[in-house]
Structure 1
Amino acid sequence: MQLKSAMNGTTLVIRVAEDRIDAAGAIQFKERMRDLIQLASQRVILDLGQVHFLDSSGLGAVVAVMKLLAPDRKLELAGLTPTVAKVFRLTRMDSVFTIHPALAEGLRNAG
C-alpha cells in the first residue's frame, strides 16, 4: 500500500497513492497508517483524492485508524472522489469524520 506522508506545519498529511482500499489491501493500509501516525502532530489529514474504490474492509480500516488516534487527535479526510464519498454517505460515516472537499481547504481550516 503506497502512502506518502509529509508535515505541513503542525498537520500530518498522509496521501493514499493507490486507486483503491479494499479487502486485499486493508490490513496493509492499517499497518502503514499505524507506523505513519506515530509522528507527533496536532492534526492528521488523510488525502483520498486518488482513491476511486473503497469497500467495507477499506472503510473498516479507515475507521480503525480513527480509533487509533482517539482521543488525542482526529482523523480528517480530504478530496473524496464521488464513489468514495457515496460510501461514506450511505454508511453515514460522513457524520463521524470531518471531510474537506480538497486537501488545500483542509489545511486552511483547522479542525
Structure 2
Amino acid sequence: MKLRTELRGTALVIRVEERRIDAAVAIRFKDLMRDLVEARADRIILDLGQVEFLDSSGLGAVVAVRKMLSPGRQLELAAMTPTVARVLALTRMDSVFPLHAQIPDLPGPTAHHAG
C-alpha cells in the first residue's frame, strides 16, 4: 500500500498510489492512515485519482479513518474515478464526505511518502 502525503497550508493531502482499496489491503490502508492523520492538519484530503476499485472492505476502511479524526477535523475525498464515485453514490457516502472533482487549490506542497 503506497500513500504519498503533501502538507499544503492547513490541509494534508494523501494520495493513494494504488489501483485498489479492497479486502486485501484495507487493514494496511487503515493502519497507515492512522499514523498519517495524527499530523496536525485541519483538513485531510484523500486523493483517490488512481483508485479504480473500492469494495466494501475498502469503503469501511475509509469510513474508519473518518471516525479517527478529532472533532473539527474532516476527511474529504477528491479526484474519484467514475467507478469509485458510483460506489460512493450507491452507498450514499457521497452525502457523508465532502467530495471534490479534483484536489482543491491549496498553498504549495511539501511531499512525504508512507508505505
Q: What TM-score, normalized to structure 1?
A: 0.92
- Relative CO higher for 1 or 2, CA cutoff 8 Å, sep ≥ 6? 2
Q: 1: distance between equivalents of 2:53 and 2:103?
A: 19
For residues 20-61 of structure 1, the C-alpha deviation after alignment (integer angstroms, 9 at most, x for no partner) is: 000000000000000001111111100000000000000000
Name whichever structure is richer in helix by fraction. 1
Q: 2: distance between equivalents of 1:81 and 1:31?
A: 24
SS at match of 2:104: helix
- Identical-pair percentage: 64
Q: What TM-score, normalized to structure 2?
A: 0.89
Cα RMSD after superposing both structures: 1.2
Question: What residue number does 1:40 align with?
Answer: 40
Question: What residue number does 1:7 align with?
Answer: 7
Question: What residue number does 2:78 align with?
Answer: 78
Q: Residue type of the partner of 1:67?
A: K
1:27-66 aligned within 5 A = 27-66=27-66
After TM superposition, which residue ranges in structure 1, 4 or more long, deviate above 3 angstroms?
Answer: none
Aligned residues between the structures: 107
Gaps of 5+ in 2: 108-115
Q: 1: distance between equivalents of 2:71 and 2:40?
A: 14
Q: 2: distance between equivalents of 1:71 and 1:39?
A: 14
Q: Residue type of the partner of 1:97?
A: F
